């Protein structure tokens, strides 16, 4: 009964939304019938907004979204037969965003609402409002409501096949809690000019409604110029109410340099003080592009609950027009007070354009894991056929399998985006 009620309420809200949009379209059509140029075209055009839009005298309402479907058929088995832990699934998802923009004396004034149903198993699954915020400004933008964080966590991954990098700040745990960014926010961002921006915000303000910790202070300085990109992000957790006596903070910084047309260099670092322990991680990476070949090298280290260091080497080549090959190797060492773990990963992948909109990809990855002198190995293979005929439509069908037979599945995915 509860699911039925959720479905009926969600359906009524969505119907009201589309009926209101249809009425706006009808009014706009009437205006255009009287005047071929009309206000209905002018508002969005003057604001520089294109896509699926509806205009009024002062506002431009833009619609965008995506609908997707995924079917997974689990073929895994164990020694006794088919795996009891069947991971077969059938899930759909959709996202619908409405963005209303009007001109003001301070710059564009916006109201944004995003509805989403992710990993839907039935049509009675609850629909979530993932964004609901207002913003105003051009060079300086003030944002308030429910939206993502201003924290910049870019430039912290290797260029190679494995894309090794730092863990996300949001949800990272510390003794007694976890970092929370985004959510209910009040943010101010300023474009200094020449590709430099400064942002500050109070985030995770919804914690005020629960009586627990709340209020993350986030500050960011970022640059995006011809030489490359860089950022410096600071997050201080629980600055407005600290119920557990722990006020942790994190610094996340990284930079990518376009040293030459062929060479890219990257350096990143992360430091955390969680009230009981100081933790850090560093990363260095480079990528050099030859005429038909690209070579990537990276290494990193971190000191947290465990001591870890890793290194990666990968290369890719366009062997013919539309056919590329990639090979990669990674060594990962993790030491803790109980045991030492060493992992070696070997990977190879081939991608071929079957036609203008059809691509076939084949891959194999072999992993050797050694724990306190005992080694195990596993080999995964994958094959995928991806189709992108245009119009925002994408589809693929793929097979993944391993030598143990306990992770073998067929996956079919379909999606259509619109804006």
Residue 380 has pLDDT above 90, yes or no: yes
Residue 4 has pLDDT above 50, yes or no: no
Burial call 37-56: b when 16+ CB within 10 Å, e when fewer: ebebbebbeebebeeebbbb
Closest CA to 183 of 216, 153, 160, 161: 216
CB-neighbour burial class of residue 260 (10 A; exposed 0-12, middle 13-18, buried 19+): exposed
Q: How confident is the model at residue 132 (pLDDT cuts 50, 70, 90)?
A: very high
Q: How confident is the model at residue 31 (pLDDT cuts 50, 70, 90)?
A: very low
Distance CA 90, CA 287 (A): 39
Instruction: Give the least confident one: 163-177, 223-237, 354-368, 393-407.
Output: 163-177
Distance CA 67, CA 93 (A): 6
Instruction: Give the least confident one: 14-28, 156-170, 243-257.
Output: 14-28
pLDDT at site 85 = 58
Half-sphere exposure for 219 (CA within 13 Å, toward CB): 5
Instruction: Give the least confident one: 298-307, 381-390, 399-408.
Output: 399-408
Segment 195-209 shows an average pLDDT of 94
Segment 346-359 shows an average pLDDT of 97
Q: Name the percent of the chain lying above pLDDT 70.
A: 83
Residue 176 has pLDDT above 60, yes or no: no
In Å, the largest CA–CA distance within the chain is: 82
Mean pLDDT of the chain: 86
């Amino acid at each position: 009964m509860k699911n039925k009620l959720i479905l009926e309420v969600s359906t009524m809200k969505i119907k009201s939304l589309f009926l209101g949009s249809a009425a706006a379209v009808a009014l706009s059509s009437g205006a255009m019938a009287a005047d071929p140029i009309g206000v209905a075209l002018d508002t969005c055009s003057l604001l520089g907004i294109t896509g699926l839009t509806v205009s009024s005298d002062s506002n431009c309402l833009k619609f965008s979204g995506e609908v997707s479907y995924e079917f997974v058929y689990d073929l895994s088995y164990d020694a006794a037969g088919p795996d009891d832990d069947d991971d077969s699934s059938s899930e759909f998802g959709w996202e619908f965003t409405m963005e209303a923009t009007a001109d003001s004396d301070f710059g564009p004034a916006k109201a944004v609402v995003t509805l989403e149903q992710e990993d839907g198993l039935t049509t009675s699954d609850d629909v979530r409002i993932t964004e609901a915020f207002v913003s105003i400004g051009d060079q300086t933008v003030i944002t308030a409501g429910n939206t993502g964080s201003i924290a910049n966590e870019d430039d912290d991954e290797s260029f190679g096949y494995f894309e090794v990098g730092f863990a996300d700040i949001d949800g990272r745990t510390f003794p007694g809690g976890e970092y929370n960014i985004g959510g209910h926010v009040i943010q101010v961002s300023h474009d200094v000019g020449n590709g430099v921006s400064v942002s500050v915000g109070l985030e995770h303000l919804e914690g005020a409604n629960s009586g627990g910790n709340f209020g993350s202070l986030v500050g960011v300085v970022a640059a995006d110029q011809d030489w490359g990109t860089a950022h410096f992000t600071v997050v201080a957790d629980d600055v407005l109410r600290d119920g557990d006596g722990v006020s942790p903070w994190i610094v996340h910084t990284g930079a990518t340099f376009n040293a030459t047309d062929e060479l890219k260099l990257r350096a990143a670092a992360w430091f955390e003080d969680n009230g009981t322990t100081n933790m850090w991680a560093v990363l260095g990476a480079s990528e050099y592009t030859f005429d038909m070949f690209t070579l990537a090298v990276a290494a990193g280290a971190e000191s947290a609950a465990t001591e870890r260091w890793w290194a990666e080497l990968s290369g890719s080549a366009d062997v013919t027009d539309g056919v590329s090959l990639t090979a990669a190797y990674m060594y990962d060492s993790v030491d803790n007070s109980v045991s030492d773990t060493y992992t070696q990963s070997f990977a190879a992948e081939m991608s071929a354009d079957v036609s203008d909109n059809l691509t076939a990809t084949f891959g194999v990855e072999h992993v050797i894991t050694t724990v306190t002198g005992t080694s195990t190995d596993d080999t995964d293979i994958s094959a995928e056929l991806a189709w992108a005929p245009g119009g925002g439509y994408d589809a693929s069908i793929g097979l993944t399998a391993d030598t143990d037979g306990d992770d073998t599945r067929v996956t079919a995915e379909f999606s259509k985006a619109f804006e």
